[in-house]
Amino acid sequence: MNREVGAKFRAIGQSNLPGYEKGQRKRALAIEHRNAIRKVLSESQLATWEKRYEHKYRNEDLRDSIKDSYETRLDKLESKYEREKERIEDSSASKETKKTQLKKLKNNYKAEKERLKDERDRKIESGYFSK
């Protein structure tokens, strides 16, 4: 079982995927691998295995996955904000109209950014993910 998973991890590592996608796929593969191990082990073996290995990885993997997901969403939000800001600045509208539009865009951006950060923090700090 470990040999098969090792080959899959190497294949993901050597693929041409961006680093973020490699990380996502490796985490998903690690979760599948741990679930497969759980299916094979008896109750006493499972207790021993979890005592030795599981506590190290479960919460960290989930936290990392949540953080990565929200960091990507925040990056996309920032790029969208920058594109819209440039579009407004390059438009032929009056100076006052541009100023109003930029202020509205900035307020919306800040509100959405705060909402995403709060949502991320709530999920990470929820009881299920705490150490």
Amino acid at 83: R
Q: Which residue blocks in 15-54 are alpha helix, DSSP H?
A: 19-40, 43-49
- Residue 129: per-residue pLDDT: 47
- CA dist 50 and 44 (Å) reads 10
Quick: pLDDT tens for 30-45.
888 888 888 888 888 8
| Residues whose CB is less than 8 angstroms from the CB of residue 89 and which lie 6 or more positions away in sequence, other chains included | 98, 102
Between the two ends of the chain, the Cα-to-Cα distance in Å is 29
pLDDT band at residue 114, thresholds of 50, 70 and 90? very high
Residue 128 has pLDDT above 70, yes or no: no
- CA dist 52 and 37 (Å) reads 14
For residue 17, the Cα-to-chain-centroid distance in whole angstroms is: 16
pLDDT band at residue 130, thresholds of 50, 70 and 90? very low
- CA dist 113 and 58 (Å) reads 28
